[in-house]
Structure 1
Amino acid sequence: MPRKPRNHMEGTIYHVLNRGNNKDNIFIDKKDYHVFLKFLWEQKEKNNISILCYTLMPNHFHFLVKVSAIPLGKFMHGLQSNYAHYFNMRHNKVGSLFQDRYKAFHVEENQYLLQLIRYIHLNPMRAGLVEFLRDYPWTSHHDILQLKSNLIDLSVVVDLFETPERMLRTYQQLVDIKNDTLSSPPYTLPLPTLEHLLRTVSDHLNVSPKSILSDSRIKNAVSGRQLFCQLAYEEFHYTRNELSGFLDISLSGISRYLDTKNKSNDKTKELASIVKRMLNS
């Protein structure tokens, strides 16, 4: 059965990651890293996608992207299929290089972006690959410090500040290695997609996603929309505009679901815990 396409919203920022099949290495030597970055640049240009930061690890990768009118899936398909073909040919391998299609978590820009860049860049230190971040060549950490890059779009990050100089000072404080315990990420978790939350609510209430997305007034469908809105808004900080677009409901309708007196606080907390455990697994 073919997979359903992911929901697409132009201008959305995603934390994208994938790892090698069976956790095997996807980069063997320097040439592999360079070729992957070449394909990353080509697909960025082809699909008009902004790369905000990246880290390549021996058996997985992380990056932040801001999508255009072209869906993220098209960009990722081009990147992973081109690289997998190159890798298997060069290293005489067969079969799937990557563990899965990929994971993509929506990022609420103002709240998580800088902390997420920090978390992504510090991965090599967490893994014990280097003692100092400056010694690891396969991240965009160096691009940000130099305020110059052919690959990442510094303007999106700089736009959060008044000047590039202020952005640089803040970033340097953010990755102050001397004071970093390198434990868990400083933000809560990468945000799950709205589809992910919809499926969680659907499973919990035993009501189909189609019913929740419809305008049905059946009690379970209404309860599902209410719980979905409260879970996405209160626990994972999606905006009312995003919920309105996803459910095709007016902003006043979204507000009614969020402002109802019969909020299911225990249920939203319970479902949020389930989602977070899944993201951590």
Structure 2
Amino acid sequence: MSSKPKAHRLRTGRHSASGRIYLLTAVTHERQPIFNDLYVGRLVVNEFRRAHEAGSATSIAWVVMPDHFHWLIELQNGDLPKLMQTAKSRSARAINQQRGRHETLWQKGYFDRALRREEDLKAAARYIIANPLRAGLVTRIGDYPLWDAMWL
């Protein structure tokens, strides 16, 4: 049995393609709930926007939960490993700088799921942004500050 984390096995043999839709998930180191701090969570959101502005990915929907994020994107230029490495490393740098620390922020790897275009992307986006409701963090999604979807 392999001792590698599951996130690494998921990507084995996969390749990413521009124009494909992906659901991406990354988890904080030891599932620390550092995004309970709204300002710290916004630093992750800044990296989603930076990737969008750089033409790497079109953000369809995202939510930043206390210890992880879900990001539904259409990959534009580049590949998933580079996109995720950039988003995670830049956000870690910004968060560590803001907190005056030098700590490991993210677990290694990430989870990805390619969606087919014929899948209902609005349903996938609704599922993503409803995470705070299912987790019991809020009673209305509008009360949770760290989410967005392109249709809203």
Q: RMSD in angstroms over aligned alpha carbons?
A: 2.1
Structure 2 residue 45 is the aligned partner of structure 1 residue 37: yes
3-state DSSP of counterpart to 1:144: coil
TM-score between both structures, scaled by the size of structure 1: 0.47
- Structure 2 matches for 1:79-90, cutoff 5 A? 79-90=87-98
Q: CA deviation at 1:6?
A: 4.7
Which residue in the other structure is 2:133 paired with? 125
**1:69 aligned partner, one-letter code:** N
Which residue in the other structure is 1:99 paired with? 107
3-state DSSP of counterpart to 2:151: helix
Which residue in the other structure is 2:4 paired with? none
Q: CA deviation at 1:26?
A: 3.4
**CA separation in 1, counterparts of 2:47 and 2:77?**
20
Which residue in the other structure is 1:113 paired with? 121
**1:51 aligned partner, one-letter code:** S
Q: CA deviation at 1:8?
A: 1.9
Residue-by-residue CA offset, 1:199-251 (whole Å, 9 max, x unaligned): xxxxxxxxxxxxxxxxxxxxxxxxxxxxxxxxxxxxxxxxxxxxxxxxxxxxx
**CA separation in 2, counterparts of 1:28 and 1:96?**
17
Native 8 Å contact 2:35 2:41 kept in 1:
yes
Q: Which runs of 5+ in 1 are unaligned?
A: 146-281
> How many corresponding residue pairs?
142
Worse overlay, 23-32 or 54-63? 23-32
Q: CA deviation at 1:74?
A: 1.7
Which residue in the other structure is 1:78 paired with? 86
Residue-by-residue CA offset, 1:49-93 (whole Å, 9 max, x unaligned): 110001111111001011123112222111110111121232243
**CA separation in 2, counterparts of 1:68 and 1:133?**
29
Residue-by-residue CA offset, 1:147-205 (whole Å, 9 max, x unaligned): xxxxxxxxxxxxxxxxxxxxxxxxxxxxxxxxxxxxxxxxxxxxxxxxxxxxxxxxxxx
Native 8 Å contact 2:56 2:83 kept in 1:
no
Compare the two structures and name the one with the higher strand fraction. Answer: 2
3-state DSSP of counterpart to 1:61: strand
**CA separation in 2, counterparts of 1:63 and 1:33?**
13
Q: CA deviation at 1:48?
A: 3.2
Q: Which runs of 5+ in 2 are unaligned?
A: 1-10
Indicate which of 48, 52, 58 corresponds to 2:60: 52
Which residue in the other structure is 2:3 paired with? none
Q: CA deviation at 1:28?
A: 4.4
Indicate which of 137, 142, 147 corresponds to 2:145: 137
Of structures 1 and 2, the one with the larger relative CO (CA 8 A, separation 6+) is: 2
* Identical residues among aligned pairs (%): 27
3-state DSSP of counterpart to 1:22: helix
Which residue in the other structure is 2:30 paired with? 22
**CA separation in 1, counterparts of 2:56 and 2:139?**
35
Which residue in the other structure is 1:148 paired with? none
- Structure 2 matches for 1:160-175, cutoff 5 A? none
Which residue in the other structure is 2:20 paired with? 12
Native 8 Å contact 2:59 2:74 kept in 1:
yes
- Structure 2 matches for 1:150-189, cutoff 5 A? none
Structure 1: 4+ residue segments shifted above 4 A: 3-6
